[in-house]
A and B are shown apart, each in its own frame.
Chain A
Amino acid sequence: NAGVTQTPKFQVLKTGQSMTLQCAQDMNHNSMYWYRQDPGMGLRLIYYSASEGTTDKGEVPNGYNVSRLNKREFSLRLESAAPSQTSVYFCASTRIANTGELFFGEGSRLTVL
């Protein structure tokens, strides 16, 4: 089973460039999330989508946009990358949010020079 698949796994950008991180899940989950992981800070929620067609801001949404393309796919876009966005990004999904069982992808390491 593929679970949650993220692409790309690694990316290097220059300041001001744009890019989109793709995420797809094959578990028929309703809710999907984007987190960033920084040393000493744990995971912080960027955006989430509680169901197809809805998106909401998390703790750190500035500089990002998201699209819930369909039930399977949830993309994260950096319109004008900044060095502060250097991080590891994780996509996650869950069938029912209040169970707490998030399924994570393997992460995407982004470096902005």
Chain B
Amino acid sequence: GDSVTQMEGPVTLSEEAFLTINCTYTATGYPSLFWYVQYPGEGLQLLLKATKADDKGSNKGFEATYRKETTSFHLEKGSVQVSDSAVYFCALSDSDNFNKFYFGSGTKLNVKP
């Protein structure tokens, strides 16, 4: 079945450091891929998405490229801020049933001033 694997956390960085959070997926067909972010005490919210191979999703300085050859969708940001501290979830939607979303286990990011 479909699944998402993302790097274990927590990840601790200093402000202005470069961020990479790895995400790989297993899926039949051609899923859409997403990154969601969860701030403390809140529900998840969509950060960015890509719907086909080689698409790049971007938002708020974050980027991720849909790589079909490596089944990956790594999240990157060139310069993190303290306000980026949150839990980040990689997810995919089943191409046969878009109502079925599969989430990774989440990666907690702590950014220190």
A residues sitting closer than 8 Å to B (CB atoms) are 4, 31, 33, 35, 40-45, 48, 50, 56, 58, 90, 92, 97-98, 100-107
Interface residues on B, range: 20 to 34
Q: B46: which A residues are within 8 A, CB to CB?
A: 100-102
In-complex Cβ contact of B101 among A4, A41, A56, A100 (8 A): A100
Instruction: Report Cα–Cα, A54/B45, bound state, in Å.
Output: 25
Q: Which residue of A lies closest to B36 (CB)?
A: A102
Report yes or no: B49 in contact with A107, Cβ–Cβ below 8 A: no
CB pair B43 A107 closer than 8 Å: yes
B42 touching A48 by the CB < 8 A rule?
no
Across-interface contacts of B52 in A (CB, < 8 A): none
Residues of B within 8 A of A58 (CB): 100
- Assess whether A100 is in contact with B106, with CB atoms less than 8 Å apart: no
- Whether B105 sits at the interface, judged by CB under 8 Å, is yes
Contact of B41 with A by CB under 8 A: yes
Name A101's closest neighbour in chain B (CB-CB): B46
Question: At the interface, yes or no: B20 with Cβ under 8 Å from chain A?
Answer: no
B41–A106 CB distance below 8 A: yes
Please determine whether B42 and A106 come into contact, CB atoms closer than 8 angstroms. yes
In chain B, positions 32-49 with a C-beta closer than 8 Å to chain A are 32, 34, 36, 41-46, 49
- Chain A neighbourhood of B42, CB < 8 A: 106
8 CB-based A-B contacts, threshold 8 Å: A33-B101, A35-B103, A42-B89, A43-B89, A56-B99, A58-B100, A97-B93, A102-B44
